[in-house]
């Protein structure tokens, strides 16, 4: 299906939904009781999404926030409340009907928030070529929209263009655990359902990294639905556009604490738990970012740690047989590959079948933020216990 046809059909679908009140299929996470205190009902009833990027405490007072695919304006209005009267919010959408509703309600929301003038501007435009100045935005949010864009790599590159150095994104979207087949890709109805345009997790995150973003990681995830054996997942991701650094600082060393026994960062440097590695300024910037700082010790001198050290972090499986129940894990953390203490190799964005013991490990607090976990079994599983190794170790 030609790209122009996809874009027009998606726009028509959402214009029709806005005009008729049609309920779109995407899962949501809005607290409508709270939002009703300042957002008009006209906006709330046409709000679609698969997460709440503006409601995750990622929006700070005084910032400039850009919402890609702003629709009726719900996420912009929530962001407007959080940035305060000194901040600014820009909404981009391609559908005239949605823009009309959003613009009509912006003064009402501003008045409800007690602002002298609205701090929101809605612009018509495409996600692949946004009408936004270079390096002018602190934070990009988007809620179940980028999967509707035919050329997502252009979207990621344009996101990088408009962000200030030091800026970041928080985006909720629908991804797939495997390649979406052509019969779905060319199904115009499925495009509007947030299905046909879904990328594999590894391609979605990989596209962001290729555009220049770093420390891309999951904030939350939820299994959504399965169609013809393809599992669609709602994920919220954050990543950063780091400012340039010079390498004239004093040498630093990084020591992996865990829970992984080994890990490789986005710059390709490998680490083994407890063993210090010399790092340059760019790597130090990456490892000291919020999603990675708890995994590493950074010091001006090499720091070795052992299993008896309280800074050592490891989660070992129970010494019991495995049971296979159809569970899968996808590494969505800020490293490109990693290994646990039972030698399972995880590659970012790639599903790996896991047994009951590994599931128990990966749902511990130290591991859970770095994985999307879901179940592929279509019916109940009556798995028998399996001794995966002569010593009773895990698969």
What are the extents of the domains in the chain? Answer: 3-240, 327-375
Average pLDDT over residues 85-89: 97
Average pLDDT over residues 209-225: 94
7 versus 52: the higher-pLDDT residue is 52
Please state, for a pLDDT cut of 70, what percent of the chain lies above it.
Answer: 86
Residues 323-349 pLDDT 10s: 999 999 999 999 999 999 999 999 999
- The model's pTM: 0.90
pLDDT of residue 115: 96
CA Rg, the chain, in Å?
A: 22
How many whole angstroms separate alpha carbon 47 and alpha carbon 189?
19
Of 26, 31, 20, 114, nearest in space to 74 by CA: 31
Residue with tokens 């990027």: 53
Tokens (6 digits) for 288: 């000291």
Identify the band that residue 148 occupies on the pLDDT scale cut at 50, 70 and 90. Answer: confident
CATH class assigned to 327-375: alpha beta
pLDDT higher than 50, residue 11: no
Average pLDDT over residues 355-373: 96
Cα dist from 326 to 2, 223, 234, 372, 379, whole Å: 37, 14, 19, 14, 10
Q: Specify which residues 122 forms β-bridges with.
A: 91
pLDDT of residue 197: 83
pLDDT higher than 60, residue 18: no
The pairing of beta strand 64-68 with beta strand 252-256: unpaired
Of 234, 209, 177, nearest in space to 353 by CA: 177
pLDDT of residue 247: 76
Do 166 and 242 form a contact (C-beta atoms < 8 A)? yes
How many whole angstroms separate alpha carbon 65 and alpha carbon 143?
13
Q: Give 92's Cβ-side CA count (13 Å radius).
A: 23
Average pLDDT over residues 235-253: 90
190 versus 249: the higher-pLDDT residue is 249
Average pLDDT, the chain: 89
CATH class assigned to 3-240: alpha beta
How many whole angstroms separate alpha carbon 165 and alpha carbon 146?
22
pLDDT of residue 192: 61
pLDDT of residue 203: 96
Identify the band that residue 15 occupies on the pLDDT scale cut at 50, 70 and 90. Answer: very low
pLDDT higher than 60, residue 352: yes
Tokens (6 digits) for 337: 């590959």
Residues 156-170 pLDDT 10s: 999 999 999 999 999
């Amino acid at each position: 299906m030609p790209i122009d046809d996809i874009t027009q059909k998606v726009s028509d679908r959402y214009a029709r939904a806005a005009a008729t009140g049609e309920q779109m299929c995407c899962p949501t996470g809005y607290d409508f009781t709270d939002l009703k205190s300042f957002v008009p009902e006209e906006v709330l009833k046409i709000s679609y999404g698969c997460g709440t990027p503006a409601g995750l405490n990622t929006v700070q007072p005084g910032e400039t926030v850009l919402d890609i695919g702003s629709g009726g304006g719900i996420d912009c209005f929530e962001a407007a409340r959080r940035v305060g009267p000194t901040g600014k919010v820009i909404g981009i959408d391609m559908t005239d009907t949605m823009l009309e509703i959003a613009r009509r309600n912006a003064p009402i929301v501003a008045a409800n928030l007690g602002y002298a003038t609205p701090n929101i501007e809605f612009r018509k435009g495409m996600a692949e070529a946004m009408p936004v100045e270079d390096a002018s935005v602190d934070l990009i949010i988007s809620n179940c929209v980028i999967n509707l864009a035919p050329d997502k790599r252009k979207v990621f590159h344009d996101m990088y263009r408009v962000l200030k150095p030091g800026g970041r994104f928080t985006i909720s979207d629908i991804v797939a655990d495997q390649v979406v087949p052509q019969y779905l890709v060319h199904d115009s109805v499925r495009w509007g359902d947030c299905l046909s345009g879904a990328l594999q997790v590894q391609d979605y995150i990989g596209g962001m990294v290729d555009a220049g973003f770093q420390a891309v990681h999951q904030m939350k995830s939820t299994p959504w639905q399965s169609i013809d054996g393809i599992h669609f997942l709602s994920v919220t991701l954050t990543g950063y556009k780091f400012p340039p650094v010079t390498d004239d600082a004093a040498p630093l060393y990084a020591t992996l604490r865990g829970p992984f026994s080994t890990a490789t960062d986005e710059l390709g440097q490998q680490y083994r738990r407890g063993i210090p590695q010399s790092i340059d300024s760019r790597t130090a910037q990456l490892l000291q970012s919020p999603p990675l700082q708890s995994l590493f010790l950074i010091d001006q001198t090499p720091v070795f740690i052992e299993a008896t050290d309280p800074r050592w972090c490891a989660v070992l499986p129970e010494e019991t047989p495995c049971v296979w129940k159809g569970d899968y894990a996808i590494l969505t953390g800020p490293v490109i590959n990693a290994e646990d203490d039972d030698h399972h190799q995880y590659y970012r964005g790639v599903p790996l079948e896991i047994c009951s013991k590994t599931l128990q490990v990966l749902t511990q607090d130290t591991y859970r933020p770095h994985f999307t976990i879901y179940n592929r079994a279509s019916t109940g599983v009556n798995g028998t216990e399996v001794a995966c190794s002569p010593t009773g170790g895990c698969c």
